[in-house]
Amino acid sequence: MAASSPPRAEAIVDLDALRHNVTLLADRAAASGAATMAVVKADGYGHGALPVARAALEAGATWLGSCSLAEALALRGAGISGPILSWLEVAGEDFAPAVAANVDLTASSVRELGHILGAGQRAGRTPRVHLKIDTGLSRNGCPAAEWPDLVEVAAKAQADGHAEIVAVWSHLACADEPGHPSVDLQAGRFQQAYEVSTAAGLKPLRHLANSAATLNRPDLHFDLVRVGIAMYGLNPLPHPEDLVPAMTFRSSVALTKRIEAGESVSYGQTWTAGRDTNLALVPVGYADGVPRLLSGRLSVWLAGRRRPVVGRVCMDQLVVDCEDDLVPVGEEVVLFGTGERGEPTATEWADTLGTIDYEIVTGMYRPRVTRTYRGQR
């Protein structure tokens, strides 16, 4: 297909918006003396890890965070030289290439630390390790009962020159619910775990805050905050913040037609025209990230106003009711965007579906969706 063909489905990522959000977050962190890690896992929450990483570093982040070695190594391979933390081991994974590339690794158990130390020997380089304590999420992280053992092995490895213990860290379960009692409980457990590490002679950094805690719990910023969703402009908190959504998802009108009252639209004929009306066909569907569950509950921004999607969302197409308006073929159709003009947002989709906007934007990470960048430097 010619490179000049217009995309069927396009996710436009506004790097100026992203930089605006990172600057806001990094300023909040800096006010309490903390550095900022831009979390770019899952290909930058669907926005593209590398362009996001570069923009975030331009705007004040100094660390990058990723959930997989492959993603961390791809950033290194693209020439990014600052600190990168990777935090989830897949059983049987070889850490040696990551140690060789100076990617910081996470140990949640003595066993994982052992794998990292072994990789350090094979790579001929001292691994940089962050010890993760489970303070109440019960996901990864070391349970409190095993923490003293992990710290002891880590302290010995550092004393022997086999590891550099960079940080002690944890992750919050309910930071997006201000006042939730678990936040203070987790912070207390985090403090205890940190004290165990300093008593063993370690002098680690501390990091705990995600986006929500970065925005509403400055007392939990410690040395470094890890921001994801807010950097992409989606607000995890119930009150407003000055964030700008970075992703706009759009397509264009492929075909128009007029149908008569009584004619129905799409599979199952779930919608029937009550009057003669103009329809616009848009060549995106659930294969492009428009959830079929939004059928009958979705509107798009088309030719200056919101218009309802009628009938079922199909694999490759959906149909918009334009009533008596004549919209031209090729006209832009915004499925979600910043909301500034009145178009739907990813958050609105999520609320309709009963999920979170994280899942909506991350779901745009698919081969049929073309990503275009605005504000690239």
Nearer to ligand PLP, 147 or 271 (CB): 147
Nearer to ligand PLP, 54 or 130 (CB): 130
Q: Which helix (H) or strand (E) holds 115?
A: helix 110-123
Question: Least Å distance between CB 41 and ligand PLP?
Answer: 6
Question: Least Å distance between CB 71 and ligand PLP?
Answer: 12
CA–CA dist 195, 201 (Å, integer): 10
Nearer to ligand PLP, 38 or 273 (CB): 38
Nearer to ligand PLP, 137 or 293 (CB): 137
Question: Least Å distance between CB 166 and ligand PLP?
Answer: 15
What one-character DSSP code corresponds to residue 6?
A: P
DSSP 285-334: -GGGT--GGGTTS-EEEETTEEEEEES---SS-EEEEEET--PPTT-EEE
The number of CA neighbours under 13 Å toward the Cβ of 339 is 11
Q: CA nearest 333: which of 372, 305, 369, 295?
A: 305
Residue nearest to ligand PLP (CB): 228
What one-character DSSP code corresponds to residue 162?
A: S
CB 126 within 8 A of CB 163: yes
Active-site pick, 41, 45, 132, 358: 41
3-state secondary structure of 138: coil
Active-site pick, 45, 156, 257, 267: 267
Nearer to ligand PLP, 194 or 271 (CB): 194
Q: Quick count: other Cβ atoms within 10 Å of Cβ 189? A: 17
CB 16 within 8 A of CB 247: no
Question: Least Å distance between CB 107 and ligand PLP?
Answer: 14
Question: Least Å distance between CB 369 and ligand PLP?
Answer: 21
Binding interface with ligand PLP (CB under 6 A): 39, 41, 87, 171, 210-211, 226-230, 236
Does the active-site annotation cover 257?
no
Question: Least Å distance between CB 173 and ligand PLP?
Answer: 11
Nearer to ligand PLP, 115 or 226 (CB): 226
Nearer to ligand PLP, 93 or 331 (CB): 93
Does the active-site annotation cover 358?
no
CB 62 within 8 A of CB 35: yes
Q: CA nearest 363: which of 282, 288, 272?
A: 288
Question: Least Å distance between CB 66 and ligand PLP?
Answer: 9
Non-local (6+) Cβ contacts of 179 within 8 A are none
Helices 15-31 and 49-58 pack at an angle, to 10 degrees, of 50
Q: Are strands 84-86 and 63-66 parallel, antiparallel or unpaired?
A: parallel
CB 88 within 8 A of CB 63: no
Catalytic residues: 41, 267
